[in-house]
Amino acid sequence: MNRVFLKGRLTRDPEVFGEGERKVAKYALAVNRYGKDNGADFPNCVAFGEKADFTEKWLKKGAHIIVEGHIQTGSYVNKDGVKIYTTDVVVDKSEFVESKSAQEAAPRTTDEDLNKFMSIPDTDDESLPFH
């Protein structure tokens, strides 16, 4: 069985491209590991069609959401001819952890808050083992 449930905050505004059923939205979540001081992970999430519409309209950097989906692996050859392997969470459903009014009243997540998790190298996405 391939089923994933994640709760976390968007690390940046979603990237959205395409239209209609071909619309795609990509974003990463900051998800705390279980237990005290165990760090965090930053899985890449991909939403298609109507789910991408929802993502584009409602999700922004710092949004606290729950994602339900499945893991999908793949690969492609980048512009330098190097094979890149990918692992994404394909979003089947997403919902807010808190109401819109609670989100507006709560302090916003800042870059400083997100950087407390771990340092991410500032590099071209194609050089990462996931995309």
For 111, counting Cβ atoms within 10 Å of its Cβ (0-12 exposed, 13-18 middle, 19+ buried), the class is: exposed
What DSSP character marks residue 13?
Answer: P
pLDDT tens figures, 32-44: 998 777 899 999 9
| Structural domain count, the chain | 1
At 87, list the tokens: 């692992």
Here the CATH number for the domain that contains residue 57 is 2.40.50.140
- Residue 86's domain comprises 4-120+123-127
Q: What is the pLDDT of residues 64-108, one digit of tens each?
A: 999 999 999 999 999 999 999 999 999 999 999 976 555 554 555
Name the 3-class secondary structure at 51: helix
With residue 52 as reference, give the H or E element that holds it.
helix 49-58
